[in-house]
Amino acid sequence: MTERENLRRSEPPPPGRDRMRALRNGAAPELLSPAGDWERLEMALHYGADAVYLAGRRFGLRAGAGNFGPEELQRAVAVSHRRGVKVYVAVNALPHEGDTDGLPEHLERCAEAGADALIVADLGVLALAKKHAPGVPLHVSTQFGVVNAAAAQVLYALGAKRVILARELTLPQIRAIRKNTPPELELEAFVHGAMCVSFSGRCLLSNYLTGRDGNGGACAQPCRWRWHLTEERRSGERFDITEDSGGTYILNSRDLCMIAHLRDLLEAGVCSFKLEGRTKSAYYAAAATNAYRHAIDDLAAGRPFDPFWYGECGKLSHRPYSTGFYYGSPGQYTADSRYFSDADICAVVEECTPDGLALVTERNRFSQGDALELLRRDGKPLRFCVSDLRDGGGAPLDTANRPMVPLRLRLPVYAPRLSILRRLRQERT
């Protein structure tokens, strides 16, 4: 079999997930995770996504992601369905005239593959989807900028099953949209990830400065660049926009993190919680999905929010967090454009014996005796010290410093495939 044996076809779903779904009885929101390529898809499935969103090699808004060719797309849908997970295919680029060549065929392939929905942002693409992928549900992208019930109702009349709300909405506005739209129309909202300084991602700055179309999936993110002012009569002189000698980053947005406020979104009428990040790492897909999976399951079971899971969000690559526009303006972060994390991935488990002897693939340097965390899909991470570290052939090692090579070591417990070894930043050596 290809693609890591079709994501280990025989691997069972996470234990207890069916029981939790029965407990929820359809009332809990959907956890929708990004799947930019096969590895990210694998992590999202393993760590508990209810649905994933991905794209083909064209017509999506993340050209920098690995994405999926036609045959890969078909396999991705089949593998996800075997795990009980839905697949939404993003066809949400805003195509200019002439950019739609091949789009009808792509839509037909999505339908043939069994996609559970198509994510569209353009009315022309919506019409083509109805013609070439009839019967496939349509989700209207956040790029469309739905900010009121009237727009949502029109889209529903045009055939949309779901609208992905504009990120600029407040909770009271979402409640009003829910109240004034048909109950059959689903509302989806972003709960985590990078935010754009422009309205619903509709920005031309990248086009102007680099020729890369942000609305075609190739954004160069110039909003993250360092900016200065110049004055016409002072050629060559640059002036900081603030008094900070390090310059300013006035266009930067804070990242979104709503993990502690999911109940508010659910009560406002949101049925799908979306994690941004198709171009983020496979570790990001795993750890973000894992944290929100636990938070949603606690919500469904009537348990109070455990702040531990907010701490897990700090172990993802991120900029300073905010709650977006849900409770008012999030404010900008102008100190710098850096991303940071409280943890680094060290290795991924490939297989493990019942007594904890594991074969792993190294991702970053670590050594015998290092204090690491073991991230698993069930329960909170476990702390342990690296012991019995060996290379793939069994020879003892003091330090592992060759990424993507196999290693063997002793774990404190059995860890299923795709469990992750990571080091907290304050404990780096």
pLDDT of 94 reads 87
pLDDT computed for residue 231 by the predictor:
67
What pLDDT, on a 0 to 100 scale, did the predictor assign at position 333? 74
Whether 62 and 167 map to the same domain: the answer is yes
> DSSP string spanning 299-318?
HHTTPPP-THHHHHHTTSSB
pLDDT along the chain (429 residues), means of 10: 45 44 60 96 98 91 75 96 97 88 95 98 96 97 94 98 95 98 97 79 63 66 69 66 54 89 97 94 97 97 96 94 90 75 96 97 96 96 96 95 95 97 78
**Which residue in 190, 226, 194, 198 sits closest to 214, CA to CA?**
198
CB 340 within 8 A of CB 424: no
Indicate if 56 and 116 belong to the same structural domain: yes
Which residue type does 253 have? S
Answer with the one of 273, 291, 322 that is the final residue of a domain: 322
Euclidean distance between CA atoms 420 and 350, whole angstroms: 10
Q: What is the pTM of this model?
A: 0.85
Are 180 and 140 contained in the same domain? yes
pLDDT given for residue 20 in this prediction:
42
Question: 419: closest CA among 375, 360, 357?
Answer: 375
Tell me if 230 is assigned to some domain.
Answer: no
Same domain, 307 and 406: no
Residues 357 and 270 in one domain: no
CB 342 within 8 A of CB 314: yes
How many C-beta neighbours within 10 Å does residue 310 have?
15
In a domain, 226, yes or no: no
Structural element, H or E, at residue 120: strand 117-120
Q: Report yes or no on 104 lying in a domain.
A: yes
44 and 148 both lie in a single domain: yes
Domain that holds residue 365: 343-427
- Residues 31 and 48: beta-carbon distance below 8 Å: yes
Residue 60 has a pLDDT of 78
SS3 content of the chain, % helix, strand, coil (to 5): 30, 25, 45
What's the CATH number where 167 sits?
3.20.20.110
Give the residue from 40, 26, 59 showing the smallest Cα distance to 276: 40
Q: Do 32 and 130 reside in the same domain of the chain?
A: yes
The total domain count for the chain is 2
pLDDT of residue 110: 97
Residue 236: C-alpha distances to residues 194, 227, 229, 246 (Å): 34, 14, 11, 18
Examine the domain organization and report whether 85 and 190 are in the same domain. yes
Residues 314 and 354 in one domain: no
Output the domain CATH number for residue 370: 2.40.30.10
- Residues 10, 77 within the same domain: yes
Rounded Cα distance between 290 and 307, Å, is: 14
* pLDDT at 425 (0 to 100): 87
Same domain? For 420 and 355 the reply is yes
Instruction: Please tell me the predicted confidence (pLDDT) of residue 253.
Output: 80
Domain-embedded: residue 352: yes
Q: Are residues 371 and 287 in the same domain?
A: no
Note whether 81 and 106 are within 8 A (CB).
Answer: no
